[in-house]
C-alpha cells in the first residue's frame, strides 16, 4: 500500500473547521457560554497551529533509492 504525504494546509483548515462547528454547536445548545468561547477559541487556534507544526516537522519517509 502506498502512503501519501500529509497536506498540512488541509489538515490545519480541517481542524479549524471542525473546531468552529463544535464550538458553534455547543454555544447554540447552551453548553458553552460567551466567556467559555473566549477560552475555547484560542485553544482551538493553538491546537491547529501545533498540529501544523508537528506535521511539518515530521520526517519525510519517502526517500527514493534510484
pLDDT digits (tens, 9 = 90+) for 5-31: 778 888 889 989 999 999 999 999 999
Domain that holds residue 41: 8-57
Q: Note if the pTM is more than 0.75.
A: no
In a domain, 35, yes or no: yes
Domain assignment present for residue 37? The answer is: yes
Answer yes or no: is 62 within a domain.
no
What is the band of 59 on the pLDDT scale with cuts at 50, 70, 90? confident
The string of pLDDT tens digits covering residues 25-41 is 999 999 989 998 899 99
Total of domains in the chain: 1
Answer for the pair 40, 32: CB distance below 8 angstroms, yes or no. Answer: yes
24 occurs within a structural domain: yes
Which stretch of 2-6, 25-29, 39-43, 52-56 has the lowest confidence by average pLDDT?
2-6
Query: Within a domain: residue 65?
Result: no
Would you say residue 64 lies in a domain? no
47-51: long-range contacts, CB 8 A cutoff, minimum separation 24: 47/15, 47/19, 48/12, 48/15, 48/16, 48/19, 49/12, 51/11, 51/12, 51/15
Amino acid at each position: 500500500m502506498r502512503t501519501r504525504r500529509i497536506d498540512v494546509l488541509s489538515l490545519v483548515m480541517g481542524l479549524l473547521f471542525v473546531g468552529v462547528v463544535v464550538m458553534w454547536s455547543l454555544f447554540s445548545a447552551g453548553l458553552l457560554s460567551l466567556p467559555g468561547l473566549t477560552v475555547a477559541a484560542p485553544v482551538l487556534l493553538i491546537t491547529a497551529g501545533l498540529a501544523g507544526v508537528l506535521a511539518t516537522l515530521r520526517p519525510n519517509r519517502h526517500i527514493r533509492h534510484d
